[in-house]
Amino acid sequence: MPNPAREPTFLPLTMAACDTRDEAVRHVRGSAEAADRAAADCWLALVAGCTSGRQALINRLHDLSEATGGYAGTRWWLSHGSVHRKRVAEAEHRIDDAVREGDGAEFAEAFIGYDQAVATVVVHVRNRLGNLSR
C-alpha cells in the first residue's frame, strides 16, 4: 500500500487551498491531483535520465492553469487578475524549460513558484467570492 507521506508532492499549497467541500474548486483540485502525479512521474524520469512522461506533465500543467483561470472567472483573470495569470504562465513555462533541458534543480525550484502562483489565485478567488456573498 502506498504511503502518501513518502511520495513526492509538488503542489502542496495548491492541494491545501482547494477545499473539496467547495463544488466550484473541485475541477481545479482534480487537475492539481493529475498534475501532481505527472510531476512525480516526470521527476523520476529526470532523476533516471529518461525522457518519458515529460509531455504528459506539460499537458497536465496546462490543464491546471486552464482550470485555475476558469475558477477565477474570465473577466477577473483577464483584468484585475492579469498579474496572477502572468505569474502562473511564467512559472508553467519555467517548468517546461526545465523539463526540456532535463534540469532537476530548476524543475524543483520552478515547481515551488508554480505551486505558489496557483494557490495564491485559488485563495484570492475564494476570499473574493466569500466577500461577495456577505
Kindly report, residue by residue over 98-122, the tens digit of the pLDDT.
Answer: 999 999 899 999 999 999 999 999 9
Residue 68 pLDDT: 97
Domain contains 53: yes
Residue 2 pLDDT: 43
Domain contains 78: yes
Domain contains 58: yes
Q: What is the domain-level CATH number for residue 108?
A: 1.20.120
What cell does 8 get? 513526492
User: How many Å apart are CA 69 and CA 61, to the nearest integer?
Assistant: 12
Domain contains 91: yes
Domain contains 1: no
Q: Is 44 left (phi over 0), alpha (psi -120 to 50) or beta?
A: alpha
CA atoms within 13 A on the CB side of 42: 29
Domain contains 17: no
CB atoms within 10 A of CB 61: 27
Domain contains 85: yes
Per the structure, the complete domain to which residue 28 belongs is given by 23-132
Kindly report, residue by residue over 30-57, the tens digit of the pLDDT.
Answer: 999 999 999 999 998 888 888 777 889 9
Domain contains 33: yes
Task: Calculate mean pLDDT across residues 67-79.
Answer: 96
* pLDDT confidence bin for 7, thresholds 50/70/90: low
* Number of domains the chain contains: 1
